[in-house]
Amino acid sequence: MGLKKGVEIKPATGKMGVLMPGMGAVATTFVAGVMNVRKGLAKPIGSLTQMGTIRLGKRTDNRSPAIRELVPLASLNDMVFGGWDIFEDSMYEAARKAGVLTRDHLDPIKDDLDRVRPWKAVFENAWVKKLHGEHVKKGSTKADLAEQVGDDIARFKKENGLDRMVAVWCGSTEVYRRPVEVHSSLEKFEHGLMKNDPDISPSQIYAYACLKAGVPFANGAPNLTVDTDAMWELARRSAVPICGKDFKTGQTLMKTVLAPGLKARLLGLEGWYSTNILGNRDGEVLDDPESFKSKEVSKLGVLEHILQPHLYPDLYAGFHHVVRINYYPPRGDNKEGWDNIDIKGWLGYPMQIKVDFLCRDSILAAPIVLDLALFLDLARRAGMHGNQEWLSFYWKSPMTAPGLYPEHDLFIQLMKLKNTLRYMRGEELITHLGAEYYD
Ligand SMILES: NC(=O)c1ccc[n+]([C@@H]2O[C@H](COP(=O)([O-])OP(=O)(O)OC[C@H]3O[C@@H](n4cnc5c(N)ncnc54)[C@H](O)[C@@H]3O)[C@@H](O)[C@H]2O)c1
C-alpha cells in the first residue's frame, strides 16, 4: 500500500536559520528559551516537538517514541536567529524591556542574545498605528523594499553558512483589511509592489520576499500576510510550505478545549463572554480599534465552527459570543483572561462555568514558535508545499482551502497532526476504531 512507504524526507543536516519579522516579547521569549534549553538550564515545556510522544501501531505494541525520534527534525543546536524590528534593541535589551523572563534566564545567555540585532524593518504607520520606530528601511517602491528584505535574507544565509531557513511572523498585529484586487493573483501583487499599492502591508512584503527566497512562512498574527490568493500562488510556484494565522495561546486555547467537551455531551450554549486585561506592547497595539478588529475576527470564529449551530439549532442557534481586550499596563505580559459561559442542560435548565486564566502570553506562544519552525522545516524537506493544514493545531484562525471550514477542535487538530507524521513515515494511521482488540 502506498501509505506504507511514507514520504521521502531529506535529512536535517547543517544549520537552520529562523527569521522573525518582529522581535518583541514572543520572539525574544522563544529565542532566549531555546538558548536556555540548549545549555540545559531549563525544559522546553509546552513544545510538542521537544516533549511529545506518538503512539505507533496497536495499543498492545507498546511503541510510543518521541516525535523527534519518528521524524527528522532540526536540532536546537543548529538554529541560528535573525530578524527585523522597528526598534534597534538587541534581543537581550528587547527581552529585558518585554519583562517576560527574569534575569535568571537572561543573564546566562546575555552575550548570545546581544549578538542577535534586528535589521531595519519594513514599516508603515498606517498598518500599526500605536507604534513609532526609527529603525525602518527606505525605498522608492514596495518592490524595492521587498528586494531589500531579500538581500537581508541572502546575507544572513551566507554569513552564517546556513543550509536552509524558515520564517515566523512575530510582529505586531496589523489593522484589519479584507483581501482586494491586488491580492487576487501573483501578477497583480507584483504589479502592486511596483506601484506602491496602499493595500499591500509590510507583513505581506516580508512574506513575499521570504517565499521568493524559498523560505517557508508561518504567520503568528491575525493579519492576512500569507493568506491571500497571490501568496498561495507564490507558495505553490516556489514549492514552499506556508501556514497561519494567529498563535492559539491563552483564552482561545481554553475555548477550543472546552467547547468540544460541551458539544460532546450535547450541552447547549446561551452565551460566552470573554474578556482580557493585558499590559504588554501587544496589548497597546490592540488598543487601536483597527488592530483589535483583526484579533476580534480571529477570536470570534472558533465557537461557530466547533458548535455547528446549523446542525444543532436546539443547542446552539443564536448563542451570544463577546470578546474584549483591555489594555491595562500594570499586568505587562501576564494576561488575565476571564470567561463566563452560560450553558443549558436537561430540559433547558441553565448553568454557568467561569474560567479565570492567569496566563503568561509569551510563555504560551514561545513553544508554538519553536514547533512551527521545526515542523515547517520538516515539511519543506519532505517536499510538502502550500498551506499546511495539519498545523492548524497551533492557530486561532487556521488557513484553509477555499470553501473548506477550518477545524478548531484542539483534539481533532492534534489527531490530524499526529496522523500526518505517521503518514510521512509510512506508519498506520490511527482511527481509534479498535475492533481488533475484541476479535
Ligand atoms: N503572545 C501571545 O500569546 C500571542 C498570541 C497570538 C498572537 N500573538 C501575536 O504575536 C505578535 C507578537 O506578539 P508580542 O507579544 O511579541 O508583541 P510585541 O509588541 O512585544 O512584539 C512585536 C514586535 O513587532 C515589531 N514590529 C511591528 N511592526 C513591525 C514590522 N512591520 N516589521 C518588523 N517589526 C515590527 C514591534 O516593534 C515589536 O517589537 C502580535 O501580533 C500578537 O498579536 C501573540
Q: How confident is the model at residue 292 (pLDDT cuts 50, 70, 90)?
A: confident
pLDDT at 397 over 60: yes
**Distance between CA atoms of 264 and 159, rounded to whole angstroms?**
53
CA contacts within 13 A on the Cβ side of 255: 33
Which pLDDT belongs to residue 280?
83
Sign of the torsion formed by the C-alpha atoms of 424, 426, 427 and 428: positive
Tell whether 418 and 309 lie within a shared domain.
no
- In this structure, the answer to whether residues 160 and 50 fall within a common structural domain is yes
Last residue of a domain, one of 305, 330, 358: 358
| Residue 40 is assigned to a structural domain of this protein | yes
Buried b (16+ CB within 10 A) or exposed e, 217-238: bbbbbbbbbbbbebbbbbbeeb
pLDDT of residue 15: 98
Q: How confident is the model at residue 279 (pLDDT cuts 50, 70, 90)?
A: confident
Give the atom of ligand 1 at the shortest distance from the alpha carbon of 131: 37
Judgement on whether residues 213 and 279 belong to the same structural domain of the protein = no
Segments forming the whole domain that contains residue 308: 251-358
For range 246-259, the mean pLDDT: 93
Closest atom of ligand 1 to 281 CA is 19
Is the minimum distance from the CB of 21 to ligand 1 under 6 angstroms?
yes
Q: What cell numbers appear for 187 in the block?
A: 501578477
Amino acid 1: pLDDT: 36
The number of the ligand 1 atom at minimal distance from the alpha carbon of 202 is 31
pLDDT exceeds 50 at position 53: yes
Question: What residues does 291 pair with on adjacent strands?
Answer: none
In a domain, 431, yes or no: no
Residues 263 and 225 reside in one and the same domain = no
212 and 238 Cβ atoms separated by less than 8 Å: yes
The domain boundary residue, chosen from 307, 330, 358: 358
CB of 205 within 6 A of ligand 1: the answer is: no
Average of pLDDT values for 273-295? 83
Ligand 1 centroid to Cα of residue 112, in Å, is 22
* CA 173 to ligand 1 centroid distance, Å: 6
Return the pLDDT at 4.
Answer: 62
**Residue 185 maps to a domain:** yes
Same domain as 208, residue 290 = no
Q: Please indicate whether residue 206, judged by its CB atom, sits closer than 6 Å to ligand 1.
A: no
Same domain, 241 and 256: no
In whole angstroms, what is the distance from residue 416 CA to residue 373 CA?
18
| pLDDT at position 212 over 70 | yes
Assess if residue 439 is contained within a domain.
no
Among candidates 74, 364, 414, which has minimal Cα distance to 248? 364
- Which of 327, 358, 389 finishes a domain? 358
Would you say residue 3 has pLDDT above 60?
no
Instruction: State the closest ligand 1 atom to the C-alpha of 247, by its place in the atom list counted from 1.
Output: 6
Q: Does residue 290 share a domain with residue 193?
A: no
DSSP state of 393: G
Task: Say if residue 245 is preceded by a cis peptide, omega within 30 of 0.
Answer: yes
Pocket test for ligand 1, best of 26, 176, 276 (most atoms within 8 A of CB): 26
Decide if 437 is inside a domain.
Answer: no
Average pLDDT rounded to a whole number, residues 357-385 = 96
CA distance 11 to 252: 35
Confidence bin at 332 (pLDDT 50/70/90): confident
Residues 206 and 317 occupy one common structural domain: no
pTM: 0.95
Do 137 and 209 share a domain, yes or no?
yes
* Chain mean pLDDT for the chain: 94
Instruction: State the Cα angle at 176 between 170 and 180, rounded to 5°.
Output: 110
Asked if residue 220 has its Cβ within 6 Å of ligand 1, the reply is: yes
CA of 270 to the centre of ligand 1 (A): 34
Residue whose Cα lies nearest atom 3 of ligand 1: it is 361
Does 372 fall in a domain? yes
Instruction: Identify whether the C-beta of residue 402 lies closer than 8 Å to the C-beta of residue 52.
Output: no
Whether residue 438 lies inside any domain: the answer is: no
Q: In what order do the strands lie in the sheet with 119-120?
A: 119-120, 79-85, 15-21, 162-169, 217-219, 241-244, 386-387
Does residue 242 sit in the same domain as residue 261? no
Taking 50 as the threshold, does the pLDDT of residue 2 lie above it?
Answer: no
CATH number for position 27: 3.40.50.720
β-pair type (320-327, 241-244): unpaired
Q: How confident is the model at residue 325 (pLDDT cuts 50, 70, 90)?
A: confident
Share of the chain above pLDDT 90, in %: 82
pLDDT at residue 299, as a whole number: 73
The Å distance, Cα 368 to ligand 1 centre, comes to 14
Per the structure, how many domains does the chain have?
2
Our mutation pick for probing the ligand 1 site, out of 129, 149, 170, counting the most ligand atoms within 8 A of Cβ, is 170
In a domain, 435, yes or no: no
Q: What is the DSSP string of 57-113?
A: S-GGG-B--BHHHHS-PPPGGGEEEEEEESS---HHHHHHHHT-S-HHHHGGGHHHH
Which pLDDT value is given to residue 39? 96
Give the atom of ligand 1 at the shortest distance from the alpha carbon of 174. 41
Do 85 and 155 lie in one domain? The reply is yes
Same domain, 154 and 79: yes
Q: Which CATH number belongs to the domain containing residue 348 in this structure? A: 3.30.360.10
